[in-house]
Copies of this chain bind each other. A is one copy, B any other.
Amino acid sequence: MSNDPLVVFTPSGKRGHFPLGTPILTAARQLGVDLDSVCGGRGICSKCQIAPAYGEFPKHGVTSTPTALSEWNSVEQRYKDKRGMIEGRRLGCQATVQGDIVVDVPPESQVHKQVVRKRVEARAITMNPSVRLCYVEVQQPDMHEPSGDLERLIEALDNQWQIKGVRADLHILQDMQPILRKGDWKVTVAVHLGDAENPARIMHIWPGYYEGSIYGLAVDLGSTTIAAHLCDLQTGDVVASSGIMNPQIRFGEDLMSRVSYSMMNPGGAAEMTRAVREGMNALFVQLATEAEIDKDLIVDAVFVCNPVMHHLFLGIDPFELGQAPFALATSNAMRLRAEDLDLNIHPTARVYLLPCIAGHVGADAAAVALSESPHLSKDLVLVVDVGTNAEILLGNTEKVLACSSPTGPAFEGAQISSGQRAAPGAIERVEIDKTTKEPRFKVIGSDLWSTDPGFDAAIATSGITGICGSGIIEMVAEMRLAGIVDGPGLIGSPDQTGTPRCFLDGRTYSYLVWDGSENGGPTITVTNRDIREIQMAKAALYSGARLLMDKFGVDKVDRVVLAGAFGAHISPLHAMVLGMIPDAPLAKVTSAGNAAGTGARIALLNTEARTEIEQIVRQIHKIETAIEPRFQEHFVNASNIPNSAEPFPILNSLVTLPDVNFNADARNGGDDGETGGRRRRRRG
């Protein structure tokens, strides 16, 4: 045993004996304890803050007293005066070992800190970003030993940070010499640590110690919306989030209509590529402005998207994705530079696209897999990412299956007569009284029900403007529960339903939700065509899930995770009443929010997750719904909104599904045929 004092680090439990006078940072490095430092122990960055613990620690076999560390010094005092420091904290590079001591490394002082996610059951994200900041002191040039400034900078990164074989992007070389001299040969460097395809590279350089941070983007490029998080690559914090409509919508609402646009218009694919890149650039400017940072500080970006979006974003004509065998140009993960894609962030910002799983199962599904980790689940979990195209994963530690299903944009409020995007004024929650058939609802922007006093005042600004995706799901389910809609999906007549809110609207009946016309507002109704759209969408979703269950050889799942930009807002009960998802215990139906976006954020903050997902996708079994006869079969069977006779025992134990049938009226046939026809064309 050494006579040197014992230093024990918590929470890692790593321990060792160190000579008197060893800085705590040095001890941490020698033991491989995760203690951050940007300045390399020069008392500049204060990232190495530690919390000494005093007292008896029988567990560690240590009694540590305040004299076990060197005295508070002037460097620490200067930092505390300038920036403030939590009482009891010390700087690891200044405090030296004077006796046995227990030292806690608080989360914010760890490089590989855990970023906790909002949902309790979700895995935390371990910080391991692609780019890190390093302060270095560079050897000055010497005529007698000529070498380039860059080579001496690289040497400094090797000697002072053990980062080997770093290269520099050309633009760094173009700016580096004056910066080195301005910083008097002390600079802060943002180093991309390299990846499977590329060596480490210098991406940014600042004179002296750079106090700011560096940023990355996690982008969920959907058919309908583009959502992005701007993240601090040092803390893992989301510093700004925003979304825009995908500007490609003007070329077609769903994927197949965009593929058709490209087939029928020479240069159409290029036009859509330009549109989506321009839209993204506008979004990035918005995020950088919101976070008040220079967009040149955005040095990494991760994108997830479905295969058609993936190809159009990369500038690849999606022609082959429009027809069997749905051949992807590439399925592997992509590592590119921002300038390759005309992205207006740091010119050589690294761009990572998650791998695609198959021609219809994209990087977005891979991102959902990364976020929800079905491959690590002991329960059999069904993950449904609801969007214009639904990604469905079913699996457990044994195996994972995946497919996608063309739900169309109805769940996002499109193709619904009073549909709209989730925004203030949109109806998001609905209840219909089973006796009176009167609705009450909540709109985004207020917590009050429409029947509550003060509701009118609360929504005075936004008004009531339409129904959003989660609202339409509840609406149709509530209509079913109230007996306004029957199992096959027909809205009854006023006579059949007993409410004047049902009225003849062309050849079918509609249900009046809200008449705002007196005040110049909209009249919000649910038409039988809206019901049909939702039936088609939910049937596509349900059939995909059923198909995977068939392939897995099960007829029930242990739990269901609803994901998607609006997945968080879907009521599990209503989703089940509608027949969107298989029967499951309500408590086992949870929302994962935008799991694809979260997957992108995980891959952004933790480069090891990139390797992980690249391995996972190789093990996922892909099911192509377009060529599975069972899918069509399920689809036909699933278009009904459930009856009590149908196999939803859990659901049937919770609610009573009215046994109504409005089919005596033959005039609804036409609609069915038309909608079905359009649906089929989408796959065409």
A residues adjacent to B (C-beta < 8 A): 141-144, 146-151, 167-168, 170, 173-174, 176-178, 197-199, 314-317, 319-320, 324-332, 336, 340, 356-359, 361, 622, 624, 627
Q: A142–B316 contact, CB under 8 A?
A: no
**Contact with A146, one of B197, B199, B624 (Cβ below 8 angstroms):** B624
A197 to B303, CA, bound (A): 25
Q: How near does chain B come to A630, taking the closest CB pair, in angstroms?
A: 15
A174 cross-chain contacts in B, Cβ below 8 A: 314-317
Q: B359–A173 contact, CB under 8 A?
A: no
Q: B320–A177 contact, CB under 8 A?
A: yes
A168 cross-chain contacts in B, Cβ below 8 A: 330
Q: B146–A331 contact, CB under 8 A?
A: yes
Q: A173–B143 contact, CB under 8 A?
A: no
A624 to B150, CA, bound (A): 20
With both beta carbons as reference points, the residue of chain B lying nearest to A336 in the complex is identified as B170
A143 cross-chain contacts in B, Cβ below 8 A: 324-326, 359, 624, 627
With both beta carbons as reference points, the residue of chain B lying nearest to A356 in the complex is identified as B148
A173 cross-chain contacts in B, Cβ below 8 A: 314, 316, 329-330
**Residue from the set A146, A319, A327, A328 with the largest chain B CB neighbour count within 10 Å:** A146
Q: A329–B170 contact, CB under 8 A?
A: no
A627 cross-chain contacts in B, Cβ below 8 A: 143
With both beta carbons as reference points, the residue of chain B lying nearest to A340 in the complex is identified as B170
27 A-B residue pairs with CB within 8 Å: A141-B327, A143-B324, A143-B359, A143-B624, A143-B627, A144-B624, A146-B328, A146-B331, A148-B331, A148-B356, A149-B320, A149-B327, A149-B329, A149-B330, A150-B330, A151-B331, A151-B332, A170-B315, A170-B336, A173-B316, A174-B314, A177-B319, A177-B320, A177-B327, A177-B329, A178-B319, A198-B198
Q: How near does chain B come to A345, taking the closest CB pair, in angstroms?
A: 17
With both beta carbons as reference points, the residue of chain B lying nearest to A321 in the complex is identified as B177
**Contact with A141, one of B199, B325, B340, B356 (Cβ below 8 angstroms):** B325
A325 cross-chain contacts in B, Cβ below 8 A: 141-143, 146
A358 to B148, CA, bound (A): 8
Q: How near does chain B come to A324, taking the closest CB pair, in angstroms?
A: 6
A328 cross-chain contacts in B, Cβ below 8 A: 146-149
Sample of 8 further A-B pairs with CB below 8 A, known A143-B624, A146-B328, A198-B198: A141-B326, A142-B325, A146-B361, A148-B327, A151-B331, A173-B316, A174-B314, A176-B329
Q: B177–A326 contact, CB under 8 A?
A: no
With both beta carbons as reference points, the residue of chain B lying nearest to A147 in the complex is identified as B331
Q: A167–B624 contact, CB under 8 A?
A: no
Q: A170–B332 contact, CB under 8 A?
A: no
Q: How near does chain B come to A140, taking the closest CB pair, in angstroms?
A: 8
A622 cross-chain contacts in B, Cβ below 8 A: 146
Q: How near does chain B come to A339, taking the closest CB pair, in angstroms?
A: 9
Q: How near does chain B come to A164, taking the closest CB pair, in angstroms?
A: 13
With both beta carbons as reference points, the residue of chain B lying nearest to A180 in the complex is identified as B327
A359 to B146, CA, bound (A): 7
Q: How near does chain B come to A278, taking the closest CB pair, in angstroms?
A: 18
Q: B197–A332 contact, CB under 8 A?
A: no
Q: A316–B356 contact, CB under 8 A?
A: no
Q: A150–B314 contact, CB under 8 A?
A: no
Q: How near does chain B come to A155, taking the closest CB pair, in angstroms?
A: 11
Contacts A177-B327, A326-B143 given; does A150 touch B332 at CB 8 Å: yes
Pick the 9 closest A-B CB pairs, nearest first. Answer: A146-B358, A148-B331, A141-B327, A148-B330, A150-B330, A148-B328, A143-B325, A141-B325, A143-B624
Q: How near does chain B come to A154, taking the closest CB pair, in angstroms?
A: 9
Q: B316–A177 contact, CB under 8 A?
A: yes
Q: How near does chain B come to A79, taking the closest CB pair, in angstroms?
A: 34
A147 cross-chain contacts in B, Cβ below 8 A: 328, 331
Q: B148–A329 contact, CB under 8 A?
A: yes
A197 cross-chain contacts in B, Cβ below 8 A: 167, 199
**Residue from the set A317, A330, A336 with the largest chain B CB neighbour count within 10 Å:** A330
Q: B148–A314 contact, CB under 8 A?
A: no
Q: How near does chain B come to A53, taking the closest CB pair, in angstroms?
A: 47
Q: How near does chain B come to A363, taking the closest CB pair, in angstroms?
A: 12
A176 to B324, CA, bound (A): 18
A673 to B627, CA, bound (A): 91
**Residue from the set A147, A198, A199, A356 with the largest chain B CB neighbour count within 10 Å:** A147
Q: How near does chain B come to A52, taking the closest CB pair, in angstroms?
A: 45
A327 to B358, CA, bound (A): 52
A199 cross-chain contacts in B, Cβ below 8 A: 197
A317 cross-chain contacts in B, Cβ below 8 A: 174, 177-178
A198 cross-chain contacts in B, Cβ below 8 A: 198
A183 to B167, CA, bound (A): 39
A326 cross-chain contacts in B, Cβ below 8 A: 141, 143, 146
Q: How near does chain B come to A358, taking the closest CB pair, in angstroms?
A: 4
Q: How near does chain B come to A146, taking the closest CB pair, in angstroms?
A: 4
**Residue from the set A144, A327, A331, A624 with the largest chain B CB neighbour count within 10 Å:** A327
Q: A151–B359 contact, CB under 8 A?
A: no
Contacts A173-B316, A315-B174, A316-B177 given; does A332 touch B148 at CB 8 Å: yes
